[in-house]
C-alpha cells in the first residue's frame, strides 16, 4: 500500500503577474531592473558617455548608470507612482502625476540626485542638469499642448 502526500505551495501575492505599487524600500531592486534594461540605450548613457569621462567603457560606467536610475526611481517614489510586476521586479514603470515633477530642489535632495553633481563629469553635469531635464519639460509641453497640466 502506498500513500501520496500532497503539498500545497502558496506564493506571495507579488510572485504572480500582478502589477503592484512599490515604495522606497524596493528602490534599489527596481533600479537594477531598469539599469539592465537600458544598458544599451544611448539616451540613458548621454550623461556618462562624455568626451571628458577618461575613456571609460559602458561596463565601467555601469555602476553610476545604475545609481542614476536609483535616484530617478526614488524621486518617483516620493512624488509619483512606481509600478512593478514579478517577484524580482521583472517589469518597472515610473509615472509622474499632473502637477508633480522630479527636479525640484527638495526632491533632488531627498532622492539623492544631488550626488550626481559630484559624480558626473563637467560635461555630464551640463547635459543632465542644464540640458536634458529642460528638453524633457519642453517636449512634453510641446506635444501635449493645453493638456500638459492634466497628463502623467
pLDDT, average across residues 18-25: 94
pLDDT of residue 92: 97
Residue 109 pLDDT greater than 80, yes or no: yes
Indicate whether 91 belongs to any domain: yes
Percent of the chain clearing pLDDT 90 (strictly above): 75
In this predicted model, which residue has the larger pLDDT, 67 or 133? 67
- The pTM of the full predicted model, rounded to 2 decimals, is 0.84
Indicate whether 8 belongs to any domain: no
Q: How far is CA 45 from CA 30, 49, 98, 151, in A?
A: 18, 6, 27, 27
pLDDT of residue 51: 97
Indicate whether 65 belongs to any domain: yes
Indicate whether 97 belongs to any domain: yes
pLDDT of residue 87: 86
Lowest mean pLDDT among 13-22, 60-69, 112-121: 13-22
pLDDT of residue 12: 57
Indicate whether 129 belongs to any domain: yes
Indicate whether 66 belongs to any domain: yes
111, burial (CB in 10 Å: exposed 0-12, middle 13-18, buried 19+): buried
Domain containing 27 equals 20-136
3-state SS assignment for residue 77: helix
Sheet containing 20-21: which strands, arranged edge to edge? 20-21, 81-85, 91-95
The mean of the pLDDT values for the chain is 90
Number of compact structural domains in the chain: 1
Indicate whether 36 belongs to any domain: yes
Indicate whether 9 belongs to any domain: no
Cα-to-chain-centroid distance, residue 90: 13
Amino acid at each position: 500500500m502506498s500513500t501520496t502526500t500532497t503539498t500545497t505551495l502558496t506564493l506571495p501575492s507579488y510572485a504572480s503577474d500582478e502589477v503592484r505599487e512599490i515604495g522606497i524600500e524596493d528602490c534599489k531592486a527596481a533600479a537594477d531592473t531598469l539599469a539592465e534594461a537600458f544598458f544599451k540605450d544611448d539616451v540613458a548613457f548621454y550623461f556618462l558617455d562624455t568626451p571628458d569621462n577618461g575613456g571609460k567603457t559602458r561596463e565601467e560606467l555601469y555602476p553610476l548608470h545604475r545609481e542614476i536610475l536609483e535616484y530617478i526611481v526614488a524621486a518617483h517614489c516620493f512624488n509619483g507612482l512606481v509600478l512593478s510586476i514579478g517577484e524580482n521586479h521583472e517589469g518597472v514603470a515610473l509615472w509622474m502625476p499632473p502637477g508633480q515633477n522630479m527636479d525640484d530642489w527638495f526632491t533632488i535632495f531627498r532622492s539623492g540626485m544631488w550626488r550626481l553633481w559630484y559624480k558626473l563629469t563637467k560635461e555630464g553635469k551640463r547635459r543632465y542638469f542644464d540640458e536634458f531635464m529642460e528638453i524633457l519639460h519642453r517636449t512634453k509641453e510641446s506635444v501635449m499642448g493645453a493638456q500638459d497640466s492634466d497628463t502623467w
